[in-house]
Structures are given as structure tokens and as C-alpha cells.
Amino acid sequence: MGNSINHKVAVLGGGSFGTVIANIIAANGHAVSLWVRNDVLSGQNAAYLPGYKLDSNVTVSADLEGSVQDCGCVIFAVPSSAFRQIARQISGYLKKGTTVISTAKGIENATFLLPSQVLQEELSQCEIGVISGPNIAKEIADGQITATVVASDNDAFCSEVQELLVSSNFRVYTNHDQFGVELAGALKNIYAIVSGITDAIGAGQNTKSVVLTRSLAEMNRFASELGANPMTFLGLSGIGDLYVTCTSPLSRNFRVGVAIGQGRTLEQAIDDVGQVAEGINTTKLVKEKADELGVYMPLASALYATLFEERPIKESLSAMMLSEQNMDVDFMVKSND
């Protein structure tokens, strides 16, 4: 997929990230069909990105099947909970070898599958990969320099996606650890909620640094148990995405944490944010899986107790901060000596 050739691309999901991804691809000269579930947008996405104009190469449609027909690439930018249903709806319209990209950062409830694994089950005729990283849509829309990771063990797939998305302000790096990249994107949402809570209660920079680094250690410990490469978590999809999501007021999961830290109930916090915060569901699923596998995750466990067992925040924070002391770094490069 070179920029010298025009391609037809479908972006499924009219949220903020789907909109900016559609615009980047369209600005690179490709025809983009942006599928939205309800209202057809008129020139801009006023609900999520007011004032951000859609490129003339973007066509907005509420016709799902029509949007993906004859597309060489389909990008899923809907919540992970919708992946399986939508994939089943469009399966018969996608040709063998169609490039399919997941951008979601969640885990399926019943199966503990990541979004791309769901797509692999439902769209087995397609080439599946993911993009993930510190990608706050509002900043991308504002022209801020941003980088992301395309993950697949297929080098040709990675090159195709790079050519579709690379622009002067949007850089695309590659990684063969698709599982690790995607799992990092899901896990960091848990710790963004924790970080929002600590911010709301007025924690100092020392405390915030403890939360950030122990969050990374916890993510790495859990992901390595499941087979991910621990080195992946030192890159954009790991520490990069974790930092952004744990510090930015534009992060939905961080804002949920802030609301909870201010004394709001979980339901009130969700209403305050007004958008899907994947970290809530991910906290429940990961805590249960960690218990099953015997993986030590004190931050996730304490957050679970606050969200789902009505433990007071002060008790949870105490449990987080006073948990068993362990090694600072779980994975060390071995000396040649």
C-alpha cells in the first residue's frame, strides 16, 4: 500500500480516535469510509472533536456492510465489547487477505481474548494486526507530534500500515510482539484509574512516581506470565502509553479515577466521563485472572476492591502503598561474567 496508489479503507467507529485515524489516511490520498452507528456526521465530528474538519476523502456512512465492501483495509475503532458482533456482520463482505487492524484496548468478558484474537476467530480469512500507543485523539487532531506502534509478526503487514498512517506529525513504529503490545494497551487502563484517584486526593510527585513504576512492574509481571515479551513494555505501547494515560486529563480512565477519588460512585464517575472507559471492565477481568494464575498484583487488587466491593478509597490506597515489598525490577539482563 504505497501512497502513490489510492486505496479504499473503512474505519469502523465515529469516536474521536476513529475520526482522527480516518482523517490521517484520507490526507495521505486514500478514500476512507467512516462508519458511524447512528447520526451521519456533516463535515466534522461535533460530539467528540468539535471544529475538527473531515478531509474531503472521508465519506461518512451508517451503512456497515456498504462501508466495508471492496475495502483493502478495515480498521476497528469501536469499543472492544462490540468487536465480535461487528466482525460477524461484515465477515461475508471481506475478501481473503484483507488487512484488518484493531485499535481497541480491552479484553472480552467471556473469553479473556484480546480484540485482535476475537477478530482472528471471526475473520480468519483476513490479515489481523494492531496499532497501539500513547495516542490521545484530541492531541492528534491538534497536530501534536504523536507516535504509535503497529504490531504483527508479518513485516509486509507492518509496512502497509506504516504507509497508510505515517504523516509529518504521526509516526508509526513496528513490533513483532502483537500479543504484548495489545495486552499492554489493555492493562494500562487499570493503572490510569489508580493514578486518577491518587491525583484527586492530592498525592505528591513521590507518590505518583511510585504508582507509575509499580504499575509498570505489575503489568510486566502479569503479561510475562501470559507469554508476552517483557521488553515490549519498555516501548511506546508500554511505558509510553502508561505515562500518557496516567497523567493526562484527556484520558477517560484517568478521569474516572479522579471522579472516584473525589467521592463519586462508580456509576456517577461513568456518567461524568460520558464515554466508555475500558479500564473498569479490564480491572475486573485481570484481577480474577491474576488470582487464578497466582500473579501478585496489589494495585489492581486494591482498585478492584474499591470499584466492586465498596472498600473505602483510603483503605485501598493503604493496601496499595503498604503491600509486600518486592524486587524493584523483575527482569534483568544477565551479565556475561
Whether 96 sits among the annotated catalytic residues: the reply is: no
* Cα Rg, the chain, nearest whole Å: 20
Query: Which of these is catalytic: 188, 284, 287, 314?
Result: 188
- Active site residue ranges: 188
